[in-house]
Amino acid sequence: MTIQEKFDKLGIDNAPGQEALQKNAVLELRGEPLPGPAVDFSHGDVDAHIPTPGSFEVFAAGVKEGAPMAYTPYRGRKMILEQVAADLAAFTGAPVDPAKNIILTPGTQGALFLAMGANIMPGDKVAIVEPDYFANRKMVEFFGGEMIPVAMNYKESTEKSGIDLAGLEAAFADGARLFLFSNPNNPVGCIYSHDEIVAIAALAKKYDATLIVDELYSRQVYPGTAYTHLRAQKEIPENLITIIGPSKTESLSGYRLGVAFGTEEIIDRMEKLQAIMALRCSGYNQAVFQTWFHEPEGFMKNRVAAHQAIRDAILDVIKDVPGVSARPTEGGSYLFIEIPELDVSLHQFIRILREMAQVTVTPGTEFGPQFLHQFRINFSQDKEKAVAAMQRFVTLLERYRKH
Amino acid sequence: MTIQEKFDKLGIDNAPGQEALQKNAVLELRGEPLPGPAVDFSHGDVDAHIPTPGSFEVFAAGVKEGAPMAYTPYRGRKMILEQVAADLAAFTGAPVDPAKNIILTPGTQGALFLAMGANIMPGDKVAIVEPDYFANRKMVEFFGGEMIPVAMNYKESTEKSGIDLAGLEAAFADGARLFLFSNPNNPVGCIYSHDEIVAIAALAKKYDATLIVDELYSRQVYPGTAYTHLRAQKEIPENLITIIGPSKTESLSGYRLGVAFGTEEIIDRMEKLQAIMALRCSGYNQAVFQTWFHEPEGFMKNRVAAHQAIRDAILDVIKDVPGVSARPTEGGSYLFIEIPELDVSLHQFIRILREMAQVTVTPGTEFGPQFLHQFRINFSQDKEKAVAAMQRFVTLLERYRKH
């Protein structure tokens, strides 16, 4: 394989945030454009849901402090590591040693990349859920691993994620020694049940597999669903990394902050990789971690409630549209919306939607090649604009529905 | 090879900034401690040489602007790319298309990692100068390449770097298709002559090799030495990436800003890798690029002069010490200091220096296994403190000199 062929597999043309760079294609435009304020559902709107109050002020204080904040050890500054470790221990229900078990990273993407790079050798089999975060499969590809897909039958029941546990065991039996999954799931927004988490941990232990649990959205869980932190369970595998960061619910994405915590040996390897990847999470930016888990009274509760209201308003728009459905989000800001057969391809429709209605969404195929009738939206948006955008989507859909 | 063995080769215990984390070792301490203000020569002191005036203000404005600055395409925000591309074209003397030939990265380390990851397949031979920046060899290791060292006889002449051009051609003839080097060199601080640069470009073209030129310190060149940008030469290879960033001379390290620019196909691959590595250079931080090449009148000139004065003061401390020498820095803030035979190993002496004199330096072995009698200092420090620290080094050296 040449370097060109390797990178051909890592397509990013349809990745969230990259849409404006797409080359012009001839689109089959039907009817009049649908006017309305543009909504970019590919990521959250930090103007509609502002960053944690006080975050800029601690950043400013960090710059003012100067040298100790500008350069830190690769894992991060000691005082920040200590605070974050204590908060994550309390949040997840199991201890975190700040000297051994945690590393600050450039965003949660950085944490994922380090965790994958510190565990995959060329030819290694890696189990990945379908659908799951689009970068997961690309990281396996980049590090020369072989992906073994594990199905998630998320439409079956709202009581569990629907992960195919037999399929996961088959992947382990087939030689996979690494399993990465997001919980709450991205793009579906479903949460793994307690029984599913216990079963995954037990299987990983049985097969001596390494687990990477991406809990990015675990602070944004809607009432009615229980969340289970795998790392706090009685029976867990020896090699376990949990990933989280204050980028989403807290709207701190512009600072690129992530954390990985878990098994000492893996954190050691991740530190070595960080040393050649980006040296550290930006020094001054590390100061912003100080606001995390220390938001003003009521801030997180209000934020979760605001997102629940947007979710419900969007579900209300689509509830009576034939062939359109989505599992109600249990955690996070995503809806994975299923659409009926159209006269045009999914990718064409998504480009038409952007062109005619100023609505940007992410095609299901980013999350697994079989998701040809789905797209993902991030509903962390202005509520009225988001509802209007989804109404334009419904209007446009009817112009392309297959009869 | 297991993942453990792979990472065993990426040691970071002696890496700059990591010293405080070293495990306790039994040191042979001789005589009384040498008191004085601690100096960490492993990196520059941004308190002694403050960040570009106005840098925090443009960051603050970026946060205030909100969404357009928080999320950007993977390469960076269009308006920032356009400004930086124009400034780099003017600085280096050859055009840079902002839509095709440039990417913003998390620090220059991020740029190096992306450039190497976008060019190395397992088993590829990669030519690396010795001595050169310590991460270069580690990146080759991580991506599964095979390093071919190219000697640099920097002690021979101050008219050129002393790179072994015959050795470089031999590496290309032996199959190396990638050559990475820093100019000004890190750790020596020497600058490649015009003839050397022209010869490197011609050899790369002849053998169809890819060049990665790390020009991180090219804005900090002292009077008396001419600097040649390889990319502006008449005859250059098809595949060429230049790397630079405002982290060093401009003291903006705390923001983690880097840039890579050059061949479109390579930038395309680097963008794909950035998408899974860290998504983007931190959004808000990108705003700080606006101060780059637009520093207040006289700022850069004064900064270079201030560093020249520190360099000269340090050279003055060591000039009459038998067995101690350093090539005077031509560009950047490093001195690669040679020391005589000691009763203890280089690594032991460096730990003793830290313990007894509060002086932190980086062992020569980080830059090549043969540099057992050298250490690197970054003299971007408070001048008085740096001179006093070097005097303590000389005092301590005499206690350990081999007789």
DSSP of A317-383 = HHTTSTT-B-PPPSBSSEEEEE---BSS-HHHHHHHHHHHH-EE-EEGGGG-TT-TTEEEEE--S-H
Compare all CA atoms of chain A with the CA of B269 and give the residue at the minimum distance.
A7
Nearest CA-CA distance, residue B167 and chain A, Å: 26
In this prediction, residue B21 carries a pLDDT of 76
In this prediction, residue B24 carries a pLDDT of 67
3-state SS, B310-335, equals: HHHHHHHHHCCCCCCECCCCCECCEE
Among the listed residues A340, A343, A352, A347, the one whose alpha carbon sits nearest the alpha carbon of residue A396: A352
Compare all CA atoms of chain B with the CA of A57 and give the residue at the minimum distance.
B60
Q: Is the separation of the CB atoms in A353 and A25 below 8 Å?
A: no
Q: Do B10 and A135 lie within an 8 Å CB cutoff?
A: no
The CB density around residue B355, as the number of other CB atoms within 10 Å, is 13
Distance (Å, rounded) from C-alpha A199 to C-alpha B194?
65
Q: Is A83's Cβ below 8 Å from some Cβ in B?
A: no
Which of A3, A43, A73 has the CB atom closest to B18's CB atom?
A73
Which residues have C-beta within 8 Å of that of residue A262, sequence separation ≥ 6? Answer: A101, A231, A239, A240, A241, A242
Of the pLDDT bands very low, low, confident and very high (cuts 50, 70, 90), residue A337 is very high
Which ranges constitute the DSSP H helices of B163-228? 165-173, 194-206
Q: Is B172's Cβ below 8 Å from some Cβ in A?
A: no
Q: Is A207's Cβ below 8 Å from some Cβ in B?
A: no
- What percent of chain A is predicted at pLDDT more than 90? 93
Which H helix or E strand runs over A148? Answer: strand A146-151
Q: Do A71 and B17 lie within an 8 Å CB cutoff?
A: yes
Which residues have C-beta within 8 Å of that of residue B79, sequence separation ≥ 6? Answer: none
Q: Residue A298 pLDDT > 80, yes or no?
A: yes
Q: Which chain A positions have a beta carbon within 8 Å of B10's beta carbon?
A: 272-273, 275-276
State mean pLDDT over A219-236: 97
Distance (Å, rounded) from C-alpha A195 to C-alpha B342?
63
The CB density around residue B290, as the number of other CB atoms within 10 Å, is 19
State mean pLDDT over B307-336: 98
Q: Do A70 and B20 lie within an 8 Å CB cutoff?
A: no
Q: Do A277 and B273 lie within an 8 Å CB cutoff?
A: no
Q: Which chain A positions have a beta carbon within 8 Å of B144's beta carbon?
A: 122
Q: Tens of pLDDT along A68-116? A: 999 999 999 999 999 999 999 999 999 999 999 999 999 999 999 999 9
Distance (Å, rounded) from C-alpha B331 to C-alpha A87?
45
Interface of B with A in 261-290 (CB under 8 A): 265, 268-269, 271-273, 275-280, 282-285
Q: Could you give the angle at the alpha carbon of B42 between the alpha carbons of B39 and B43, nearest 5°?
A: 90
In this prediction, residue B15 carries a pLDDT of 82
Q: Residue B23 pLDDT > 80, yes or no?
A: no
What letter represents residue A32's amino acid?
A: E
Q: Is the separation of the CB atoms in A307 and A288 below 8 Å?
A: no
State mean pLDDT over A297-324: 98
In this prediction, residue A14 carries a pLDDT of 79
Q: Quick one: how far is CA B170 from the chain centroid?
A: 25
Tell me the whole-structure pTM to 2 decimals. 0.96
Which of A63, A73, A278 has the CB atom closest to B110's CB atom?
A278
Q: Which chain A positions have a beta carbon within 8 Å of B21's beta carbon?
A: 73
State mean pLDDT over A199-218: 98
Q: Which chain B positions have a beta carbon within 8 Å of A110's beta carbon?
A: 106, 277-278
Of the pLDDT bands very low, low, confident and very high (cuts 50, 70, 90), residue B92 is very high
Which residues have C-beta within 8 Å of that of residue A60, sequence separation ≥ 6? Answer: B56, B60
Distance (Å, rounded) from C-alpha B180 to C-alpha B241?
9
Which of A10, A254, A269 has the CB atom closest to B283's CB atom?
A254
Radius of gyration from C-alpha coordinates of chain A = 21
List A129's β-bridge partners, or say none.
Answer: A150
In the block, which residue shows the tokens 């590595």? B277
State mean pLDDT over A208-231: 97
Q: Tens of pLDDT along A30-39? A: 999 999 999 9
Q: Is A100's Cβ below 8 Å from some Cβ in B?
A: no
Question: What was the ipTM of the complex prediction?
Answer: 0.96
Mean pLDDT of chain B: 96
State mean pLDDT over B123-138: 96
**E strands present in B190-235:** 210-214
Interface of B with A in 26-45 (CB under 8 A): 43, 45
Q: Do B277 and A118 lie within an 8 Å CB cutoff?
A: no
Q: Residue B27 pLDDT > 70, yes or no?
A: yes
Distance (Å, rounded) from C-alpha A87 to C-alpha A245?
12
Q: 3-class DSSP state for residue B342?
A: strand
Which ranges constitute the DSSP H helices of A66-211? 67-70, 78-92, 107-117, 134-142, 165-173, 194-207
Q: Do A7 and B268 lie within an 8 Å CB cutoff?
A: yes
State mean pLDDT over A251-271: 97
Q: A135-165: string of b/e by CB count within 10 Å (b at 16+)? A: bbbbbbbbbbbebbbbbbebeeeeebbbbbb
Among the listed residues A140, A215, A251, A188, the one whose alpha carbon sits nearest the alpha carbon of residue B276: A140
Among the listed residues A123, A173, A374, the one whose alpha carbon sits nearest the alpha carbon of residue B1: A123
Q: Is the separation of the CB atoms in A109 and A135 below 8 Å?
A: yes
Q: 3-class DSSP state for residue B380?
A: coil
Q: Do A118 and B3 lie within an 8 Å CB cutoff?
A: yes
Q: Is B165's Cβ below 8 Å from some Cβ in A?
A: no
Distance (Å, rounded) from C-alpha B233 to C-alpha B225?
18
Q: Residue B211 pLDDT > 80, yes or no?
A: yes
Q: Quick one: how far is CA B267 from the chain centroid?
A: 21
CA dihedral A10, A11, A15, A18 (to 10 degrees): 120
Distance (Å, rounded) from C-alpha B102 to C-alpha B264?
8
Q: Tens of pLDDT along B163-189? A: 999 999 999 999 999 999 999 999 999
